Amino acid sequence: MAKARTPAQNGDVNWPEVLKKYRFSKNMKQASLAEDLNVTQAMISRWESGAIAPGRDMQGRILAMVEQETLATPMVGWRQFVTDQPAIAAVIDPDGRIETVSVGLIRETGIGRADMEGQRIDGVFSGDLLKLFSWLSTIGFFDERVETVESADRYCIHRPDGAEDSFCVHNMHWWRRGEDRRPRWILTGARVDEAEFEALREEFGAQARIMPVD
């Protein structure tokens, strides 16, 4: 019985068929596919006519594109959405344990996922974030009494290799109930420069404030 060809064995892939099928399924013009693959439209035309085959590197990109494109997925849950965030984001439990960190937080801190998740925040950060955590507890954030908080914080981080670093972040915080119905602190933020940091502190009149309702 003939088996469907798996893209892994791409020595004899029918490139005209793969490209056209993909393009037609997306209702795309050759020009927009060319743009996506960063080649000329004439090149797409030659691949599709079978005049030439894509180069080796390009073959990998095309297959990755075709495979990923056809992947159907369920809606991602909120925790996965935090994990995938390109911005700074984290989920922290009421005891100050970091449960989930985002791609952005890993990128900005240079600390790996395994070295943050499961740690208490004071094991990774010092200074402003710890002050913020105790202030949030004081104002009843973890008792669901406050909806949204914003803050300007200087992140002081301890890398596992002993290196220290610090940078300024404009943060926004809210809570949502976790899988066990206990509230979780959802931290999100973007890095800002010193001048913006000072301006935010001035605007808030403090490190943090409860977000005003419009």
Q: Which parts of this chain interact with other proteins (CB under 8 A)? A: 26-28, 32, 35-37, 60-62, 64-65, 68-76, 78, 81, 84-89, 103-104, 107, 147-148, 150, 169-172, 174, 176-177, 188-190, 192, 196, 211, 213-214
Nearest to other proteins of 38, 134 (CB atom)? 38
Nearest to other proteins of 161, 214 (CB atom)? 214
Distance CA 97, CA 118 (A): 6
Distance CA 184, CA 176 (A): 5
Nearest to other proteins of 35, 48 (CB atom)? 35
Nearest to other proteins of 122, 143 (CB atom)? 143
Cα–Cα nearest to 9, from 43, 59, 45, 49: 59
Cα–Cα nearest to 122, from 114, 130, 110: 130
- B/e letters for 62-77, b = 16+ CB within 10 Å, e = fewer, are bbebeeeeeeeeeeee
